[in-house]
Amino acid sequence: MAATDRTARHLELLTETIAAVNSSLDIGEVFELIAAKVSNALDTDACFVYIYDEQADMLELRATHGTRFDDPAHLPRMLLGEGITGTAAAEGRPIMIARAAHLDPRFVSFDNLPEPGVGWPLFLLLGIAYFAMAYLLLGAVFLAIGSLASTVREVQTLSMPVTMLQVFLFLFATLAVSDRGGWMEWSAMAFPFSSPFAMLARAAQEEAVWPHAAALAWQAFWVALTIRFGAALFRRRVMKSGPQGFRKKKLRRDAERAAQVVAGADAVS
């Protein structure tokens, strides 16, 4: 009875696979349908469909069911004889492992990270540059906050809204990643405090380099402007120096000169 049911399931799977092949001209959609049908017929949690690339002599993952890979441009590839799947393909026979497949000596994991759009070396350099820009922008803001407060409690009170704004900007930049080319992504890239995060995400997705040169110049402008404003505020409020002190000194000198003129006029008269 069990053999009859197994045969019936196999025939049903074969029929549904043929129907899936004939239902669409999109090869990717066909593979997805096949993965779903096989997973349902065999009652498995996941199914992976590989094709054999004769030129590269490699197996390439083309469809999954029950799990997915976020980067279609960097799907896993393996050699014949590599891993459990590669061994089954090389030997031309099915391999069944009852449990704990990850303990099998033939098991391999997909531990290779997808390469960023701009490549790893430039991506790491951009990461350092954008981190520096974000750090300088926030540092200038906290410098200005420190100059406005006279006690530690006031510093903590004024810093709380800025800290909450940091969290909001990070979430905003995260949401902007999913809005490729939309208003949210452009807004996140244009706003100085979220621009470093949004542009780093763009470096991971696209190959173009010139937008990063423009973004770094735009962020450097705001860094210079913010630092100048924060430093000027710090000098006036804390150091009691700067342009305000210069004006006071000039007024004092003018007053002394006027007093000397008046005294000289009184002496003459």
Q: Is the dihedral of CA 89, 90, 95, 100 positive or negative?
A: negative
Comma-separated ranges of CATH 3.30.450.40 domains in the chain:
2-103
Helix (H, G, I), strand (E, B) or coil at 156: helix
Q: Using the Cα atoms of residue 185, residue 190, residue 192 and residue 196 in order, give the sign of their dihedral.
A: positive
Specify the 3-state DSSP secondary structure of 228: helix
Residue by residue, pLDDT tens for the chain (269 residues) are 456 666 776 677 677 777 766 666 677 788 888 888 788 777 777 788 888 888 878 888 888 887 766 555 567 788 888 888 888 888 988 888 877 777 888 887 765 456 677 888 899 999 999 999 999 988 888 888 877 777 778 878 888 888 888 888 888 888 887 787 888 889 999 999 999 999 998 898 888 899 999 999 999 999 899 888 878 877 777 666 555 455 555 556 666 666 665 555 555 55
Residues in the chain: 269
User: Rounded distance, CA 99 to CA 137, Å?
Assistant: 53
| φ/ψ (deg, to 5) at 107 | -70, 135
State the fold for domain 2-103.
Beta-Lactamase (3.30.450)
Give the C-alpha separation, 226 to 221, whole Å: 9
Cα(41)–Cα(95) distance, integer angstroms: 17
Prediction pTM value: 0.53
Alpha carbon distance 69, 73 (integer Å): 10
Q: Which residues of 182-206 are buried (b: 16+ CB within 10 A; e: fewer)?
A: eebbebbbeebbbbbbbbbbbbbee
- Rounded distance, CA 220 to CA 22, Å? 57
15 close to 22: Cβ distance less than 8 angstroms? no
Task: Tell me the residue ranges of DSSP E strands in the chain.
Answer: 47-53, 58-65, 77-79
